Amino acid sequence: MDIVRDKLTRDELKQMAAAMFGNMVKAVVDVERKLIALDGELHADLEALLLEDGSKQKDLWGINLYPDLGGEEFIEFDSMINMRPSQGNRSRGVESEEVRRKIISVVEKRISR
């Protein structure tokens, strides 16, 4: 598990995917601090790593990245940590279009295409 504070290449992401799940990397994005924690077995583990690093729970969203895919298929908005009725998110996805845009922005900042 690692927190990406600079930029990661698509090849590095592919290596992470191959080592863990084959074609996918689990990630948690801090939409306020603009950081990504990657390469954990569970989104909850990555969430804990960011919380220990100073992130706030309300800013953390779980996604899956598919380095071999492009466009909208690259990011999958699906994680148990996203279920937050108190924030108006009642599913494993990310229901707010604004939050989805923030997540995409952080991913584009931290991962080279």
Cα–Cα distance, 27 to 77 (Å, whole number): 10
70-88 pLDDT tens trace? 899 999 999 999 999 999 9
By the 8 A CB rule, do 69 and 51 touch?
no
23-58 pLDDT tens trace? 999 999 999 999 999 999 999 999 999 999 999 999
The structure's pTM equals 0.96
By the 8 A CB rule, do 54 and 97 touch?
no
